[in-house]
């Protein structure tokens, strides 16, 4: 009898991790970082609730750190088997895990200086760049829609999830006993309104389904309404004489925002003369997006071709016909120079939840200005500075200072890379009768409860598991 244990992204939306065991095999689904406040992130240091050396294979749904960010720690603690993912995901985690390790090593260095002055013991980073290299050596890229045995009794198939480049729905066929049973893990399902990527694959058969519920309690605004508001904020900021800050995730959201700004530019609706992408990681990721244009949706590809070129074909720090006002800030000096720009700029920078990265310095220099605008285009987890701003904080600490929040704050949920409540229900509704057992993960309590009730109205019964719970498959 196969079992599945829920180990992460059960009480919230980060730290995705689930353990599948058969009579002869053990497979780990995702190995993500817990993200949020300091207390939440401290749990990343906790021991894994299993022996890493006993895992036969790891399957990674996509590259976001809340799904991939503890893989180097898993390797550091003894895992040496294959890690299966799509080719694009393999390229993306090369960038993302190295960046995460560099940040952890830097933060640890600063913390140890503080501890040394206070007479406290030194600490170690969660993992190092060497651990990341060891992890990347274990990556086994697999194309979509290609069934591959990953253990003696488990076969894997990766399907398009439409969330970010390379994101996948995981299908696992379990044959330790007959008949063969099928587990489907949705990973993070994409928003059908989002740019560039294709819609999530339609799956019709399974015995057990794990489905994300990030936005299980709400509907996204239509993309038409979202783009209208986006254009309105851009016009208003130009009239106000202020800058626009867009805290954005390096993977997925940044590339969509560049695409949307390019479309506005092509229509003559982008008055700002400086669009700056201030994130070395987002720049590297954008180049990876260029290499995988074969997975873009046809409509957006045609729009970019009509402009005379492709939005992702520009070379390092060069102009581009689709968005010629775009610039890259790669060095620290180039980033700092943006703080002297008081009007007319759109600055896209990480991190998306404002809990790190260059965006914090731009917020420090712009939040107190009434003419400034901040546009949130992604999910803001509890405990993050981004969530505080979205919830109406009047003051916030940035780069060691308490900053008055006088800027105008905007939240554009239509840019979300996650499926809305109705999209989640629609995706699950394609499973044929008898419907599979459905477990809701990757959502805050209110989201999961609301989605469960909405599914019930659609004659679909869902279960909300608890952390550490084990079920039979």
Sole residue written with tokens 């406290």: 120
Domains of the chain: total: 2
pLDDT at 293: 81
Of 396, 415, 434, the residue that ends a domain is 415
88: CATH: 3.60.15.10
C-alpha R_g of the chain: 22
Percent share of the chain, pLDDT over 90:
79
Q: Within a 13 Å sphere around the CA of 54, how many CA atoms are in the beta-carbon half? A: 12
CA of 453: how far to CAs of 413, 425, 430, 449, 464, in Å? Answer: 22, 11, 18, 6, 11
Question: How far apart, in whole angstroms, are the C-alpha atoms of residue 3 and residue 90?
Answer: 28
Q: Are 263 and 354 part of one and the same domain?
A: yes
Of all residues in the chain, what percent carry a pLDDT higher than 70? 96
> Before 434, cis peptide (omega within 30)?
yes
What pLDDT digit, counting tens, does each position of 430-473 carry?
A: 999 999 999 999 999 999 999 999 999 999 999 999 999 999 99
Question: 367 and 374 in contact (C-beta within 8 Å)?
Answer: yes
DSSP 8-state code for residue 250 = T
Pair (178, 324) in one structural domain? no
In this structure, the answer to whether residues 168 and 154 fall within a common structural domain is yes
Residue 241: partners with Cβ closer than 8 Å, 6 or more residues away: 343, 344, 371
Task: List the structure tokens of 295.
Answer: 């997975």
Tokens (6 digits) for 427: 């995706």
Nearest residue to 457 (alpha-carbon basis) of 431, 435, 430, 425: 425
Sorted by sequence, the CB contacts under 8 Å of residue 243 that are 6+ apart come out as: 237, 341, 342, 343, 344, 345, 346, 347, 362, 366, 369, 372, 373
Residue 282, C-beta contacts closer than 8 angstroms, at least 6 positions apart: 248, 250, 251, 254, 348, 349, 350
Q: CA 328, CA 314: separation in Å to the nearest integer?
A: 11
The CATH number linked to 292 is 3.40.50.10890
Statement: residue 342 has pLDDT above 90: no
Most confident of 134-143, 348-357, 372-381: 134-143
pLDDT of res. 53: 98
pLDDT tens digits for 268-321? 999 998 999 999 999 999 889 888 888 888 888 777 766 555 544 443 333 355
Residues 281 and 296 in one domain: yes
Tell me: do 385 and 463 sit in the same domain. no
Instruction: Supply 286's token pair.
Output: 């954008």
- Are 383 and 426 members of one domain? no
Residues 331, 267 within the same domain: yes
Lowest mean pLDDT across 350-354, 392-396, 419-423: 350-354
| Contact in structure between 237 and 373 (CB atoms under 8 Å) | yes
Nearest Cα to 28, choosing from 67, 66, 63, 76? 67
Q: Find the mean pLDDT for residues 254-273.
A: 91
- Show the domain range for 468: 3-218+420-472
**Are residues 57 and 136 located together in one domain of the fold?**
yes
Beta strands in 122-253 (DSSP E): 139-141, 148-149, 154-160, 168-174, 181-185, 208-212, 244-247
133 in the same domain as 107: yes
Name the average pLDDT for the chain.
92
Domain boundary (389, 415, 441) is at: 415
pLDDT at 320: 52
Q: Does one domain contain both 214 and 147?
A: yes
Cα torsion through 99, 102, 103, 107, rounded to 10: 180
Rounded average pLDDT over 80-92: 98
**335-359 burial, b if ≥16 CB within 10 A, otherwise e?**
beebeeeeeebbbbbbbbbbbebbb
Q: What is the pTM of this model?
A: 0.89
Q: Of 372, 387, 415, which closes a domain? A: 415
Same domain, 158 and 250: no
- Are 237 and 375 within one domain? yes
């Amino acid at each position: 009898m196969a079992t599945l244990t829920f180990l992460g992204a059960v009480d919230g939306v980060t730290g995705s991790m689930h353990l599948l065991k058969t009579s002869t095999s053990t497979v780990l689904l995702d190995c993500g970082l817990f993200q949020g406040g300091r207390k939440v992130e401290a749990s990343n240091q906790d021991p894994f609730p299993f022996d890493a050396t006993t895992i036969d294979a790891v399957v990674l749904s996509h590259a976001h750190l809340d799904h991939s960010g503890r893989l180097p720690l898993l390797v550091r603690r003894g895992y040496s088997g294959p890690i299966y993912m799509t080719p694009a995901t393999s390229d993306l985690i090369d960038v993302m895990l190295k960046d995460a390790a560099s940040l952890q090593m830097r933060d640890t260095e600063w913390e140890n200086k503080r501890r040394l002055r206070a007479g406290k013991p030194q600490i170690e980073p969660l993992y190092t760049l060497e651990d990341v290299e060891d992890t990347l050596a274990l990556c086994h890229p697999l194309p979509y829609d290609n069934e591959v045995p990953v253990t003696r009794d488990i076969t894997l198939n990766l399907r398009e999830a439409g969330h970010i480049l390379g994101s996948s729905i995981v299908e696992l066929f379990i044959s330790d006993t007959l008949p063969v049973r099928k587990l489907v893990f949705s990973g993070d399902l994409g928003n059908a309104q989002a740019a560039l990527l294709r819609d999530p694959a339609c799956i019709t058969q399974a015995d057990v389904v794990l489905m994300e519920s990030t936005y299980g309690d709400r509907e996204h605004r239509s993309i038409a309404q979202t783009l209208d508001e986006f254009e309105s904020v851009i016009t208003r900021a130009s009239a106000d004489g202020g800058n626009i800050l867009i805290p954005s995730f390096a993977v997925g959201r940044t590339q969509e925002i560049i695409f949307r700004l390019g479309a506005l530019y092509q229509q003559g609706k982008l008055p700002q003369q400086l669009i700056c992408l201030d994130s070395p990681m987002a720049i590297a990721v954008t180049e990876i997006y260029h290499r995988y244009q074969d997975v873009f949706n046809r409509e957006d590809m045609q729009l970019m071709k009509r402009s005379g070129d492709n939005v992702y074909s520009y070379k390092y720090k060069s102009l581009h016909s689709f968005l010629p006002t775009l610039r890259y800030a790669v060095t620290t000096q180039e980033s700092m120079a943006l703080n002297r720009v008081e009007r007319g700029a759109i600055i896209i920078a990480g991190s998306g939840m404002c809990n790190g990265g260059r965006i914090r310095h731009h917020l420090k220099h712009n939040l107190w200005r009434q003419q400034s605008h901040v546009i949130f285009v992604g999910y803001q987890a509890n405990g993050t500075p981004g969530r505080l701003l979205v919830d109406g904080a009047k003051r916030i600490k940035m780069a060691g200072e308490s900053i008055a929040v006088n800027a105008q704050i905007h939240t554009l949920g239509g840019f979300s890379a996650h499926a809305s409540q109705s999209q989640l229900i629609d995706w699950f509704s394609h499973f044929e009768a008898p419907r599979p057992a459905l477990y809701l993960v990757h959502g805050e309590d209110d989201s999961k409860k609301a989605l469960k009730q909405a599914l019930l109205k659609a004659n679909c019964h869902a279960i909300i598991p608890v952390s550490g719970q084990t079920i039979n498959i």
